Structure formats: structure tokens, C-alpha cells
Structure 1
Amino acid sequence: MGPPDSASLRTGEQHLYRTIFIQFLGMGTADNAPKAEQQREEPASREQEQEERIACLEQELQQKEERILRLRADFDNYRKRMQKELSSLLSREKEQMLLKFLEVYENLAAACQAHDDQGLNMVRDQFRRALEEEGVAEIPTVGEPFDVARHHAVATECSPEHREGTVIREIRKGYSLCDRVIKPAYVVVSKGDTHGQSDRD
């Protein structure tokens, strides 16, 4: 058998190169398979992380919104409480001021009774109108049923003309401010007829 010719050598080399190339491709495919699988898994993993992050942010947002609502409710309650306390404070201050004015008014009214002076009477009437404009009103007494919320009984007397528990005389005037008693009236109350005629008017 003679030495191989050049054609046979070329054919053998091509076969060898083909074999090496196929093996190389096989090795490359085997090495790249995990990488390809990893590349397919990475987008899914990133998407899951994003969804978890979004869920976490939504939960934080909900918690902040709930906190804001609680703070707003607390502030509204605080504002209403402050308004109520301020209104009560102003009402008490006004009441104290009007009580001082009422004392002056009563002294002026007593002076008018003692001295029939036209000038004093005009001042008294003007003073009374000013008090009425502020919501001050005299508490009804004589002929009214005794009311412990408006009247202070200083004495009781027998009175055939009045039912038991009826106010028969006023000792000192009482006043209310916007339907709230600021100064009770001092009165004398009927005990009725001690001989059984207390139902007679």
C-alpha cells in the first residue's frame, strides 16, 4: 500500500476539523445551557421582586393614609373642643360683666323710686334697653308657680288668695341671660289656706 495522496489527506483533515468543530459546538451548547436557563429565570425573578415591592409600597401608602385620617379626626375633635371651651369662656366673661352692670342698674332703679326725677328715669330706661339688647330679661315672679331653678324662697306665708307653691311677693328681682338664669329672684311663696282652701285662686 502506497502513501496517501493529497486528496486523501485533505479529506481526512476536513473530517478531523468537522469532528473537532462538532465537539466544540457540543461543549459550547452544554456550557451555555445553564446560562440560557438562568437568563429565562432572571426576568421572572425581577418581575416577582417588582410585584413584591409594589405590594409593599401600597401597604405603606395605605398605612400613611390611615394615619392622616386619624390625625385629621383628632385635629377636628381638638378644634371643636377648643371652640366649645372658648365659647364657654366668653359666655362666663359676659355673664360676670352683665352681673356688675345689673348691680348698677338696680341701684339706679332704687334711686328712681326714691326720687321721681325725669332725667334719672330716662337713664334707667336706656340702661334697661341696653341690657335687653344683650339678652338680659327679668324673671317673672308674682303669680307664677315657684320654680327652684329661677326662684329663691326666702319665706312662706299663708295666703287664701293663692294656691300653695305660688309666688306672692318679690323681694329682689332675678334675671336670665338668653333663657339661662344668672341671678335668681328672691321671693315669698304661698303656703295656701291653712283652713283647707289652698286650691282656691
Structure 2
Amino acid sequence: MLPLGWLVNTQASQKQPKILFLGIDNSGKTTLLHMLKDERLVQHQPTQHPTSEELYIEKKKFNAFDLGGNHIVRRVWKDYFPKVDAVVYFVDAYDKERFEESKKELDALLSDESLATVPFLILGNKIDIPHAASEDELRYHMGLTNFTTGKGRVNLANSNVRPLEVFMCSIVRKMGYVEGFKWLSQYIK
């Protein structure tokens, strides 16, 4: 496994592709962004204002935007859709009572015309907690069974299929998300 810092770079540079970290509140967006930046796990207050960090993914530089996930800040998500290159959508795999709310937001994103060709990485977070949803269970509840494109290198260049895949992870245990970002990097120009 690669060291955690392989994703982060703090130097300024030219315009870079844009990745949005989206998902309802308490799903892990801010925790992952700050872990990638500082390589340490810290408890965070709910995100009230969008934040961004520069990341390296597979030797490419990106700007990652954590837009927050409570009801109020979800209204600004659309403001960031223009020129977005990828979406990382976080789902708390342990909080099954909020799957319906999370699915509703994901469905809205997937049906938004301005995101029609944008690759989506779905991270099912918190798999370290006992009784968290399995990947199959999460796919079912998010309505993604038979709708994902595959975890390997799948050539979608000549098709109208949006890259979409689910990866289960534990941010606190530092597992699963690196593979997800590697998968995502193949679809970002």
C-alpha cells in the first residue's frame, strides 16, 4: 500500500482538474481531506463553508473541494458543478437509517445534466464499525446494483457510459480509499 501522503501536494500550480467531495453530513468527507493533507486523524466540526486542497492522484494534480453535507450547505453544491472532472460521493456504511437520504442526494447528482459525463467514485465509509453495510448491501440501498462499470481498467472511451464504481473503505483505518482513487484517476483527463 502506498504511504498516505502520496495524494497530497501543497505547492501552487496552474489550473488543475477539479474533484468534488460530496455526501450527506458525517460521512467522512472532511476527515479524509484533512487526513490526506496532514496524515493524521482529527475530529472535525461539521463543514459550514467549502474548503479545498491540492492533491496528487497517480502523478496528476487536482483540486479537491469538500463542500459539506448538511441540508443548508447542499444547496451550494450546484455552484461547483461547472468544469468538475470527478465526484467522490461518501456514504456512511454504518448509518443505515440515513441510506434513503443519501440515495436521494446521489440520485439527484447522477441525474443532473451538468454531471452526465463526470466519473463518480462512491466510497462506502466506516466499514471498521461492526454491522456496517457490506458492499452488496450498500449497492442495493444506493440503487447501484448492476449499474457500476467495474473496478479494473475498463475502457469506456468509445461509449456513453459514465464511469461509476463503489469502493468500501475505512478512513480511520486508512484502507480502501487509495484503491478507489487509483480507479478514479484513469477516467480524469
Name the TM-score, length of structure 1 as normaliser.
0.18
**TM-score, length-scaled by structure 2:** 0.19
Structure with bigger gyration radius: 1
Q: Which has the higher helix share?
A: 1
